[in-house]
Amino acid sequence: MKARAGAALGALALLGGCVSPPPPRVVEPVVATPQPPMPPPMLASDFEIDGALEQGGWIRGRVPRGAARLAFGEVPVTLTPDGRFFAGIDRDAPARLRLTATSASGQTAVRELAIAPREWRIERVDVALRGSVPSETFMAQRRPELAAIAAARAVRSDSQGWAQRFAWPATGRISGRFGSQRIYRGVPGAYHSGLDIATGGSGAPYVAPADGVVVLAAQGPFSLEGNLIIIDHGMGLNSAFLHSATLAVKQGERVRQGQVIGTIGATGRATGPHLHWSLMWNGARLDPLLFLPLR
């Protein structure tokens, strides 16, 4: 650089131009670049954890300071700006699961969690499992229903319902429990994916158990679910309410905990009027009873 400047000055001199003396060199003050302080190590003991650490349960917590990402097992978990999170524990979760927090620089803190096993209600029946190949007529109706359910469950709203204490959507007899399963001559059927509440008839109103956004309100009854409402509670947690007689909300609507969202019925595949409530988080099926106060 200096050499080139000198050459340029020389060229000007040769051309006979008037060359003023070079300006005095400005000496830049030397400023020491401040080194960022080393971040304190993330400690697994700094995880804050609350919840029901059992199959079908859930975790609410906070990551250690400095964590930029979190995984539960292999599943990435969303963090709020202040480091809080929600994670669901699948009905068939293994006995141990890990929370792994990772900082921006790649440092990790791992918290091992013991997940208590459940004793699911298993009924063995001496009946063959019915043929499971659905007809093309049925599938022609079913495919768009399944697509609508998958699209609704993929919606991620900014609802804060996930952080609330859940409330009972209806009072009534528990007519079916989450996780129960029939085994047909040794062949397991699908387990019951929700909590059934029966009020002894149709027409009783039920309410949102927590704040949320209605991501599906199927008024034309779906073949199995009937009139179906799905509510997103934020952070990947959503509720589905099946078999409604009527719906009181529309897709896209924000609902508050305790707000009437529908009435109990027997639409779709139901043996009698009841509310089937299921909870899912990132594909994991959760037990609604573990979110509710005892009654």
> Which of 194/236 has CB closer to Zn ion?
194
Nearest distance from C-beta of residue 191 to Zn ion, angstroms? 11
Binding mask 259-278 for Zn ion (x = CB under 5 A): -----------------x--
> Which of 160/202 has CB closer to Zn ion?
202
> Which of 53/289 has CB closer to Zn ion?
289
Nearest distance from C-beta of residue 288 to Zn ion, angstroms? 11
Nearest distance from C-beta of residue 133 to Zn ion, angstroms? 23
Q: Is 196 in the site for Zn ion (CB under 5 A)?
A: yes
> Which of 73/176 has CB closer to Zn ion?
176
Nearest distance from C-beta of residue 273 to Zn ion, angstroms? 12
- Phi-psi label, residue 118: left if phi above 0, alpha if psi -120 to 50, beta otherwise: beta
Q: Is 111 in the site for Zn ion (CB under 5 A)?
A: no
Nearest distance from C-beta of residue 176 to Zn ion, angstroms? 5
Q: Is 189 in the site for Zn ion (CB under 5 A)?
A: no
Binding mask 148-187 for Zn ion (x = CB under 5 A): ----------------------------x-----------
Nearest distance from C-beta of residue 181 to Zn ion, angstroms? 13
The residues binding Zn ion (CB under 5 A) are 176, 194, 196, 276
